[in-house]
Amino acid sequence: MFSEFPVDFWLALMLAVAAGWFARQIWNNSAKASVKSRTEPFNIQYFAGLNHLLNEQQDKALEVLRGLAEADADTVETQLALGHLYRRRGEVDRAIHIHESIMQRNGLPAFLREQARFALGEDYLKAGLLDRAETCFQQLIDQLGHRSVALRNLLSIYEQQGDWQQAISTYQQLSGFTSPEHPTALAHYYCELAEHAQQEGLMQQARDNLDKAFMAQRNFPRGNLINADFFLAAGDARNAAALCKRVMELHPHLLPIALPRFIKALRSLGLSMDNTDGELSLSSADTSQRAALAYAAIVANVLDEPYLLQCLPDFLRQDATLGEMVQALVGEPATLNASQLQSVAAALAKIFRRTQRYRCVSCGVNTGSHFWQCPGCHSWDTLAPVSRLELSPVSRRG
Ligand SMILES: [Zn+2]
């Protein structure tokens, strides 16, 4: 657990403790002799604690911090560092107790009260007490030193709560003075609102939100897919199919998401994927494109489309293990007839349903379904289909 936190983080934490402690000595206007007598033991213990942290000896560091806190219960910075360490160790109840105690102190300087409030907000966030965390961070957004992180944490809270209006407002406040961490997040918030309005039958509201999504991100692929759904619902399958085709061509990692919509739109037009309608034709002689289509069809379980079945041998050739397995059990993939291909496809789709189909390129979490926002690291647009069949089970989150 300790290794999750870089040395820089611990260094910064301990230096903050030291800086705060010395600042407090000055703030107290203590006599020089008194400062000296208290500085020396603090120095020794502080550097011992720092040494333990740098050597990844978290328990010993905790022991030192506890000793410091007990020796001088009035030193808020030490209490803050101890609370921080408890939270990092997962002992959130203890962290909350420490930080709440600090907040109850009378005569606490404003900057220390803000630090304690911020720490308490992070405790609540980690404990899943989102309403309490929101209150803490809301009280800090006017404080320059905490504004940016408080707004980021509020954004995370609103995302978790699915409160997209608040997320939009917070995102806009944040982007007023710093670059957003996830540039496409705003467009996703509007897409969430558009989808919700569509489900409620509020089509004008849905379209307004979709327009705002496109204002935030031009040609936003998720927006195009929602727009395709709108066209399909309105009976305009040609425009729906054209939008899906565009998304598949420009964003191959979204093939499994766009392909089922594309097929649905084609069928509404009385077409199939091997159609000769130039504008909507996806037929390709490129082996890797055909393999990608077959793979997407397996992941999305839409292998009843004859053209996609014809692409299956290209996918099996690309995945040596699978190809050899099929060859041993059924025959050389290129020589299989439609019925045999259908059986292989059905078996593969069954296996895929029980395996990891998507992986976050940012944190590596595996899921069985597609999410626009990674359930692991909460990044947007980072889930992509795994490049080939992996026979390990889906993660708990999937
Ligand atoms: Zn992730």
Q: What digits encode the pLDDT tens for the residues 285-306?
A: 688 888 889 989 988 888 888 8
- Residue 386 CA to ligand 1 center (angstroms) comes to 13
**Range of lowest pLDDT (40-49, 185-194, 354-363):** 40-49
pLDDT exceeds cutoff 50 at 3: no
Q: What digits encode the pLDDT tens for the residues 265-284?
A: 999 999 888 776 677 777 66
- Residue 222 CA to ligand 1 center (angstroms) comes to 18
User: 367: helix, coil or strand?
Assistant: strand
Look at 351 and 3; give whichever has higher pLDDT. Answer: 351
Its sign, for the CA torsion 152, 154, 157, 158, is: negative
Q: What is the pLDDT of residue 387?
A: 67
For residues 261 and 229, what is the distance between their CA atoms, to the nearest angstrom?
Answer: 8
Q: What is the pLDDT of residue 361?
A: 93
- Residue 380 CA to ligand 1 center (angstroms) comes to 8
- Residue 361 CA to ligand 1 center (angstroms) comes to 7
Query: Which of 373, 376, 381 shows the shortest CA–CA distance to 394?
Result: 376
pLDDT exceeds cutoff 50 at 4: no
For residues 135 and 147, what is the distance between their CA atoms, to the nearest angstrom?
Answer: 14
Q: What digits encode the pLDDT tens for the residues 311-348?
A: 999 988 888 888 888 888 888 888 888 888 888 888 88
- Residue 385 CA to ligand 1 center (angstroms) comes to 13
- Residue 373 CA to ligand 1 center (angstroms) comes to 8
Highest mean pLDDT among 89-98, 213-222, 275-284, 361-370: 213-222
- Residue 150 CA to ligand 1 center (angstroms) comes to 21
Q: Which two tokens stand for residue 180?
A: 């957003």
For ligand 1, an ion, list residues with CB under 5 A: 360, 362-363, 365, 374, 376-377
Highest mean pLDDT among 18-22, 110-114, 219-223: 219-223
- Residue 81 CA to ligand 1 center (angstroms) comes to 29
Q: What is the pLDDT of residue 2?
A: 38
- Residue 189 CA to ligand 1 center (angstroms) comes to 18
- Residue 159 CA to ligand 1 center (angstroms) comes to 15
Asked if 359 contacts 383 with a C-beta cutoff of 8 angstroms, the reply is yes
- Residue 366 CA to ligand 1 center (angstroms) comes to 9
- Residue 64 CA to ligand 1 center (angstroms) comes to 35
Domain 2-173 bears CATH identifier 1.25.40.10: yes
Long-range pairs, 144-150, Cβ under 8 A, ≥24: 145/111, 145/114, 146/114, 146/118, 147/177, 148/174, 148/177, 148/178, 149/118, 150/118, 150/121
- Residue 381 CA to ligand 1 center (angstroms) comes to 9
Q: Where are the domains of the chain?
A: 2-173, 204-353, 354-398
Q: What digits encode the pLDDT tens for the residues 339-365?
A: 888 888 888 888 877 777 899 999 999
- Residue 337 CA to ligand 1 center (angstroms) comes to 40
- Residue 374 CA to ligand 1 center (angstroms) comes to 5
pLDDT exceeds cutoff 60 at 394: no
- Residue 356 CA to ligand 1 center (angstroms) comes to 14
